Amino acid sequence: MLPEIRRTGSENSPDPGLLLGQGLAMFTDQLRTLAPDLSTEVVREIAALARPRVVARNDYVQRAGKRAGELVFCQAGLLAVLHPADGKDLVKQFVVEGEFVPTLIGLLEQRPVPEAVRALEDCTLLVWPAKAVRALAATHPGWQQLVQGIIHHHYWFKERRENQLLAHAPQRYYRFLRDACPFVSAGRIPLRYLASYIGVAPETLSRIRARKFLPT
């Protein structure tokens, strides 16, 4: 049986220290990337509505088949997006600090999300309750821009991922290593999760890594 989702850490008013410094800069940069026209006032408004949460390693942020209850931004840590198939969890995506967890579409449509999201490290998250996100996305121009930016990024990533899977396994691995080198080379991803993302068995990935060549 999977462990229960535990809500750890503070979920009261945002800790000002949590939203300052590098963490706030990272969050602001991502908002600017997804919605370049957002004003400073709207960025601050969005940040002010966030609630901080600390999630322990191996805890679940989202269960497969359950409705998404909130919009989630990873401020520190590493998460895996898992798709259950044939009794196994297949890794569809990794979410690192500075990225949103891809549950927004299910949240807006109020439908179950097919994937689970699990913390691979202790994580610091910022969360926005679903009810507030839906209401603001429907009425607030700034939030509408952000929502459209997140959805666009979701489909961009999906198309990119589909193209990646057309390559041979060694190419898939080394291209991923090239694109995500900082957190892969630091050994932050367990081998079985990395192998699942590449689409090979852990033993096959070990052999690929032993070859130590780079694709052209």
Reported pTM: 0.78
Q: Can you list the residues of the chain whose pLDDT is less than 50?
A: 1-14, 16, 20, 216
Percentage of the chain surpassing pLDDT 90?
26
Q: Do 24 and 73 have their domain in common?
A: yes
* 102 in any annotated domain: yes
* 30 in any annotated domain: yes
Q: Do 26 and 80 have their domain in common?
A: yes
C-alpha distance from residue 199 to each of 30, 33, 194 (Å): 29, 30, 9
Give the model's pLDDT for residue 20: 46
Give the model's pLDDT for residue 182: 60
* 209 in any annotated domain: yes
The number of folded domains in the chain is 2
The residue to which tokens 């967890």 are assigned: 101
Give the model's pLDDT for residue 16: 44
Q: Do 16 and 101 have their domain in common?
A: yes
Give the model's pLDDT for residue 32: 85
Q: Do 13 and 103 have their domain in common?
A: yes
* 160 in any annotated domain: no
Q: Do 113 and 193 have their domain in common?
A: no
Q: Do 185 and 108 have their domain in common?
A: no
Which CATH number covers residue 22? 2.60.120.10
Give the domain range for residue 142.
1-154
Give the model's pLDDT for residue 23: 62
* 173 in any annotated domain: yes
Distance CA 87, CA 40 (A): 46
Q: Do 147 and 179 have their domain in common?
A: no
φ, ψ dihedrals at 192, nearest 5°: -70, -30
Give the model's pLDDT for residue 22: 56
Q: Do 144 and 192 have their domain in common?
A: no
Query: Residue 56 CB: number of other CB atoms within 10 A?
Result: 13
* 162 in any annotated domain: no
φ, ψ dihedrals at 156, nearest 5°: -60, -45
Which of 123, 154, 185 is a domain's end point? Answer: 154
Q: Do 70 and 172 have their domain in common?
A: no
Q: Decide: 74 and 101 in contact? Cβ < 8 Å.
A: yes
Query: Residue 176 CB: number of other CB atoms within 10 A?
Result: 17
- Average pLDDT across the chain, whole number: 80
Q: Decide: 216 and 167 in contact? Cβ < 8 Å.
A: no
